Structure formats: structure tokens, C-alpha cells
Amino acid sequence: MKTRNIAMAGAMALTIAACSTNPITGKAQLNAVPNSQLFPTAFTQYDQFLKENKVITGTKEAAMVTSVGQKIKAAAEKYLASLGHSDYLAGYEWEYKLVQSDEVNAWCMPGGKIVVYSGILPITKDEAGLATVLGHEVAHALLNHGGQRMTAEMAQQLGAAGLQVATQGKSETTQAILQQAYGVGATYGAVLPFSRSHESEADKVGLTLMAVAGYNPDKAIEFWQRMSAKAGGSSTPELLSTHPSDATRIANITNEIPQAKANAAKLGVKY
């Protein structure tokens, strides 16, 4: 009982200490790992990844990744300044690298370190398509999704520890079943929906960033339609995926485009 109380107290302390408000969404968020700790670790991992993979330089594609990335970065700075939160970007070190890989993907480390795989370029096709991807990835960084996911995992571990204490005295088989049930419930009941929520949130903010950067957010729909066609309808069912289904994503983006254009219009960018 005492250990379980400690675990519960630890979870409560984690929640209280980690609560903050994101200046873009205005929503409270949990982040138990401060940027001062998170960013240096992410930067080190990013540098290690670049050493172990082929970075493409000196091509028009690599130049486009850098150019579009810088425009999205400038849009983020402009947008946050309009919200009165220029200081929010302290510690961010934006970097965009094109890496040789057939994988259709791009990702962003906390603090603004971004990789675009060459395999996604035939689907982005042009600057607007690439701006859709980079706007989405930069949005992940601005929304501090990496820190939030780490916090969620820490909370999940505390919960699992509490369950282990609660089942002491039960048979090993019973404990194993309960632990497995907790793991499945936590994964499909919390972790994956939490990730889908992040993806949808990054889509929304990414639309505004690409719009402020001068790219028509209507082009985002065309990009995701091409992504859907590439998948050929073989994507993982939405319930078991960390990403929304293609149909859900396209519908959500369509609904969010007017707001993205309105946000850009306030900063003098119109379509």
C-alpha cells in the first residue's frame, strides 16, 4: 500500500510540475522534461543520425528543402510574434537535411532538427507539397509534442508500477495477465489516440505556417491525396494507428483551411 501511494503521489507530482500552456493552442499541456534538458539530447541524437546516414547536398532538391524550411521557420517566427510570444522560440536551432532513403517519411526532433527522406519527394512534387510536410513537422516542434509524449510514457510507467504493487500476493499468472491488460489498455486507450491527436494538431498548425510562408494551404489536400494513392488503401486501421486515416485527415484539413487562410490574412498574406 505504501509503495502504491508513493507511485500515485509521484504521478500527481509529475502532473502538477509539468503543466504549462502552449502559446499557439492556448491549451494546457503536460511536459515533465524542460527544453533545457530535452533539446541538447535531441540535438546529439540528430547529429549521430546524420553521421550514420547519407545526407544529400549540392542538389536542387537539397536546396529546395533548405529554402522551403527557412520560409516555414520565418513563418513560425512571424506567427508567434503576432501572438506576442517571440520568446517561445528560445533554444530552438532550426536545421533541415535531405537524407537518402526510399522511405516515404520526414520527421522532426524537439528543438527544430528536421530530416526529409528523399523517398517522399516524388509525392511532395513541388514546393507547396514540401511546405505541407515541413509545416507539419515544424508544428510538431512548436507544439512540443516530443516532450509531451515522453511525459505520457513516464506517467504510464508510474501507473504500471502502481499496478504491480497492487497485484502483489496474486499468482504469477494473474499478475502477468493484469500487467498485459494494462499495457494493451494503455496503448490503445491512451497512447495511440494521444498520438493521433498530435498528428491532427500538427496538421492544423502546419496549414497556418505554410499559409503565412506564402504557400496556398489548398495544396495540402492534393499532397495528402497523393499520399493516400501511394498507400493504395493498405494503411493500418485508424484505431490501431498513430496517425489519422487518410480520409479523416483530408476531411479535417479541408475544414481547417479557411482558418489557416484567415490567420495568414491577419499577417498580410492573402490568397
- CA distance readout (Å), 134 to 121, 151, 216, 245, 263: 12, 25, 14, 20, 18
Q: Catalytic one among 137, 199, 201, 256?
A: 137
Q: Name the packing angle between helices 192-212 and 246-266 (round to 10°).
A: 40
Rounded to whole angstroms, how far apart are CA atoms 142 and 80? 10
Place of cell 507511485: 7
The secondary structure of 89-147 as a DSSP string is GTT---EEEEE--SS--EEEETTTEEEEEGGGHHHH-SHHHHHHHHHHHHHHHHTTHHH
Active site residue 137: yes
Residues recognised as catalytic = 137
